[in-house]
Amino acid sequence: MPEPLRSPMPESHPLPPFHGLMAVDVKDSTRLPSREHAQLSRALTEIVYQGLEEAGLKEMPREFENHSGDGLAFGFDPSWVPHVISPFADVLNTLLQEHNAGPGPHLRLRMSLHIGPVPRSPGLPGDGNAAPRSETHRLLDSVPAREWLARADADATPLVLIVSDTVYRRVVVDGYCALPAARFAEVHAEVAGKDFAQTAWIYVPSPSGDLLTGSDAADCPDHEEAVGKTAEPARAAPRQGGTRLQFVESGVAVMDSTMGDFHHHTESRHSPDRNS
């Protein structure tokens, strides 16, 4: 007698280990001549590595690190996430300000930070690929991250950090980060043309320009480019005096950078050699 047919049941799978995920990207890098892209990539990598060292994160292992020329992203043990927010973001901000005062590419960065389960397969294609990694890059490319950096003064504000709601609640609100929750502003992060919309939180180490005056986002030159034709406008930054706008005297991960023109001065700034 034949056995009765059984309905197929989906199989459960082990949850991959959680990772902190950081990305950075340079603003306006595509506007540079092709021959200057290599110099941009070297400057970005050197500043990020120097920032990690000066923030006490030199020993933090970086996993599935990826360099895109005008961007840098990697995963790391999530226990380091509070330190990547503070002091690293403030240290990086200060290094960018010092770099932009000298010769070479003028770097302005968007930086995103997320936490999530990511599978590891070192040496194989797809190492570290999972939804949390994609979400980290979506945060980096989101309308608020682009708008906030564009609305700030190019010299005073070289860095904008956007963190996921998970990072904000589990790391910042729960008290593991040196920065208080009041230093972050809530935004609706979405990307034009992509199925992505999440609550996120922005921290600006050295706010300036329209971020202080509360001018409408529509007045920003990069507003149309950031929003696109299919996405709804992001929430405007808090107006001066709002409860969530931070006022910071000085400051510093997938990272995304905005790059301005080259600036040449009579004095050059030499960065120490360091291992990658």
- pLDDT score for 208: 94
pLDDT at 39: 79
Q: Which of 153, 124, 144 is nearest to 226 (CA)?
A: 144
Output the tens digit of pLDDT for each of the chain's 276 residues.
Answer: 566 666 677 899 999 999 999 999 998 666 665 666 777 888 899 999 999 999 999 999 999 999 988 899 999 999 999 999 999 999 999 999 999 998 877 899 999 999 999 998 888 888 999 999 999 999 999 999 999 999 999 999 999 999 999 999 999 999 999 999 999 999 999 998 899 999 999 999 999 999 987 654 434 444 444 444 333 333 334 333 333 333 333 333 555 544 443 333 333 333 334 343
Given this model, what pLDDT does residue 106 score? 85
Residue 32's pLDDT is what? Answer: 61
| pLDDT score for 124 | 87
